[in-house]
Chain A
Amino acid sequence: GDCKQRLPSCRQCSRTTARANMAVVHALQGGLLRSLQQSSITLTAAAGGARTFATALDKNVVTVEVAPYQTHKIEAPSTTVETTVGELAKMYYSMFRMRRMEVAADMQYKAKLIRGFCHLYDGQEAVLEGIEAALTPQDSIITSYRDHCHAVSRGGTVASVMAELFGRATGKTHGIGGSMHMYNRQHNFYGGNGIVGAQIPLGAGVAFAHKYKKEPNVCVAMYGDGAANQGQKYEALNMAGLWDLPVIFVCENNHYGMGTAAWRSAKSPLYYTRGDYIPGIKADGMDVLAVKQVVAFAKAHVLAKGPIILELDTYRYHGHSMSDPGSTYRTRDEINSMRQQRDPVERVKKLLIENGYPAEEVKRMEREVKQDVDSAVEAAKAAPIPPPEWLWRNMYQDPCDSEMRKVDGTHVKPTFDRSYKV
């Protein structure tokens, strides 16, 4: 392809070829063929098999004024955002799917089909959707344990996420990883990280690799307000600044680190300023268009001038995890007023309908998403558990002469095998 590096098994070349082959064409109601306009839409469509529902309105341009950005040592992006009805429809579909999936996970956790840790993303959909809308599939993302929606947007499906939560063989990581550990290297998604803050220097390292290989790509390293106080974040910021690493640090400020409100854990809760010499911008994380605009701005800045911090003001409806009711440190009034006044999914829906998108089309999308999520749950319930041999797989890509000891003192030779066929 166009690889200038001539590195052995260069991933950039193989990705370029894959993209070229991936013509995303959907047959729609009435037999209309429509090719999708933007690469971000291509990604969201390809992942999880989203449909577009073509209407005559899709190409209609919609201009929206978003709330002003707050900035630190940088100029603000324009608050005038241009989108199309078609893009808004895609965003609504994708965000509605995130919402339904996370709500289904809540129900299945209460039904005891999901166990252990389960950190839900509902309320924060606009953050991820806006980021993905501004990135290409060749850009990288890394995040924390609140990663179910990222696993879908980066080359996964609701079915594989649900099966993983159920600990089944058909899960995203075949029952080995669980809720917090889902990945997709081919789609440049580096997890899924359980240790608070670890993903920040890891993300700077992924960006380092992009730069080393002379790729025109960024890594988005996402973390919460709780992780924002971690020392390793400052170590990563320092090196990212020194070495001009193409990393966008994204603080998803949902105002609570587990049960501790931001004002109780941060001497300065102005997270977008905490990079000091690293510029920062704060945006409304409940407005997907504001997020898309600032991330697109950030990507251009980062590739020319070095790292940036984005603080996206958002909210999680659930507690920290399914073990946390989320109401001992927050009032129900606060949670309800967020839902009523700032819900990110409702906001996009409202924008769609205000711009003439047919109500039946909206309902059709919602029905399809519900069907996708419901069938994912049913499939997960019916899926087999991982066979015992999988316990010994993929600890090493080259096992050398390893023999791993079992409980009974006998030994097993570990294998490297990614087939995971049931």
Chain B
Amino acid sequence: MALLQSGHALRRMLGLTAGRAAFGASASRYLATDTTQMTVRDALNSAMDEEMARDDKVYVLGEEVAEYQGAYKITRGLLQKYGPERVKDTPITEAGFCGIAVGSAFAGLKPVCEFMTWNFALQAIDHIINSAAKTLYMSAGDINCPIVFRGPNGAAAGVAAQHSQCFAAWYSSVPGLKVLAPYDSEDARGLLKAAIRDPDPVVFLENELLYGTAFPVTPQVLDKDFVLPIGKAKVMRAGTHVTLVSFSKMVGFCLKAAEELAAEGIECEVINLRSIKPLDRDTILASARKTHRVIAVEEGWPQCGVSAEISAVVTEQAFDDLDAPVMRITGSEVPMPYATNLEELALPHVEDIIKGVKKILNKA
């Protein structure tokens, strides 16, 4: 999708402030000789490619995944390599093709069901929840559902209200689902490969604006058996003064904020959740007990959001270690508007995180 935004707004969307390089703090932790650059798009593509080569029960279906090479080119080249029986273009009928994918998973196949965006999955949500998530339980363990539902989630740029919702909170409340949200290319590869190998239904929430972003990847990450554990968060950056917890694109914003705050002597610990369900409460709580101040950052709406869950967990289990209430920095509680300036007001930015950190430290 072409991003028809002004250059400045675009850089804000991508978490780049004026004059800074991309990639955030993680770039400095790798030796140039060890790593290569890989975009999130290529990370997802290579993950699917390798898993399809490894297990011939894995197949991909969705709108434009085959001949168009993917609406966002995530499935580029797969049709040519694996043929039309394993890479299937569907009509624009989410309820139907999601149901077909889930039924095929019950019968032993391993579908990767792409939603062009997670907004369209609302048409199929009954199959995600009532068919996929609950059947193993209702069948007393008889019928599992090894399916991955994947696609871009949350705000893109200028796509307005019906194309910008974040669904992390909704899906992560359902027992029987696993919900993953990669940030960088290592996450994308390791989590998608783990999801495809997983015997349970996985909701895989990508981010359109990160598809084109390149991140360093080590040879270990490029290994065809590289998988990340489901349910484990990653501490992207160690710190002592405040804990920033987030997922997906907001991880990049938190890293950027941390870099800028470091110049002022404020050391932020940045946690990349990677997994919303199971939620890695242990990592979050250990960090809370260390820094005594927690800010949960997400792009989605505040009421009953992922950050609300983090706030409840930290308050219940680390209350005595807190020097301040858990702070939430979330998207504005509005349907996404179109005009650039209004869209900016609807989403959190690096400056909002910086302000929040200073406020929680009483340095505002």
**Given the contacts A198-B130, A202-B102, A235-B91, A418 and B142 also touching, CB distance less than 8 Å:** yes
Tell whether A210 is near chain B: CB-to-CB under 8 Å. Answer: yes
**Given the contacts A183-B142, A401-B280, A205 and B178 also touching, CB distance less than 8 Å:** no
Report which residue of B100, B130, B230, B281 has the largest number of chain A beta carbons within 10 angstroms of its beta carbon. Answer: B100
The interface size bin for chain B is 35 or more
Q: Of B40-48, B132-140, B355-363, which stretch is located at the interface?
A: B132-140
Q: How many chain A residues touch B (Cβ–Cβ < 8 Å)?
A: 60
Query: Could you tell me if B278 and A401 are in contact, using CB atoms closer than 8 angstroms?
Result: yes
Interfacial chain A residues near B104, Cβ < 8 Å: 205-206, 208-209, 212
* CB of B111, distance to nearest CB on chain A (Å): 8
Query: Could you tell me if B103 and A205 are in contact, using CB atoms closer than 8 angstroms?
Result: yes
For the complex with contacts A201-B97, A201-B98, 12 further pairs of A-B residues with Cβ separation under 8 Å are A140-B107, A192-B138, A195-B126, A204-B96, A208-B100, A210-B107, A235-B95, A235-B97, A394-B137, A397-B141, A398-B199, A403-B278
* CB of A258, distance to nearest CB on chain B (Å): 19
Query: Could you tell me if B136 and A395 are in contact, using CB atoms closer than 8 angstroms?
Result: yes
Query: Could you tell me if B139 and A173 are in contact, using CB atoms closer than 8 angstroms?
Result: yes
Q: Which residue of B lies closest to A393 (CB)?
A: B141
Report Cα–Cα, A397/B102, bound state, in Å: 16
Residues of B within 8 A of A (CB): 55-57, 59, 85, 88, 90-91, 93, 95-109, 126-127, 130-131, 135-144, 175-176, 178, 198-200, 229-232, 277-278, 280-281, 316
**Given the contacts A208-B100, A396-B176, A195 and B141 also touching, CB distance less than 8 Å:** no
Q: Of A41-49, A52-60, A236-244, A338-346, which stretch is located at the interface?
A: A236-244
Tell whether A124 is near chain B: CB-to-CB under 8 Å. Answer: no
Query: Could you tell me if A7 and B230 are in contact, using CB atoms closer than 8 angstroms?
Result: no
Query: Could you tell me if A395 and B175 are in contact, using CB atoms closer than 8 angstroms?
Result: yes
Report Cα–Cα, A194/B138, bound state, in Å: 11
Question: A237-275: which have CB < 8 Å to B?
Answer: 238-239, 242-243
Question: A192-232: which have CB < 8 Å to B?
Answer: 192-195, 198, 200-210, 212-213, 231-232
Q: Which of A181, A209, A234, A398 is B109 in contact with, Cβ under 8 Å? A: A209
Report Cα–Cα, A174/B108, bound state, in Å: 23
User: What is the total of A-B residue contacts with beta carbons within 8 Å?
Assistant: 177
Query: Could you tell me if A181 and B126 are in contact, using CB atoms closer than 8 angstroms?
Result: no
* CB of B146, distance to nearest CB on chain A (Å): 8
Query: Could you tell me if A231 and B136 are in contact, using CB atoms closer than 8 angstroms?
Result: no
Interfacial chain A residues near B135, Cβ < 8 Å: 183, 191
* CB of A57, distance to nearest CB on chain B (Å): 40
Query: Could you tell me if B91 and A204 are in contact, using CB atoms closer than 8 angstroms?
Result: no
* CB of B191, distance to nearest CB on chain A (Å): 12
**Given the contacts A394-B136, A417-B141, A213 and B99 also touching, CB distance less than 8 Å:** no
Interfacial chain A residues near B144, Cβ < 8 Å: 397
Interfacial chain A residues near B101, Cβ < 8 Å: 205
Query: Could you tell me if B143 and A190 are in contact, using CB atoms closer than 8 angstroms?
Result: yes
Q: Which residue of A lies closest to B145 (CB)?
A: A397
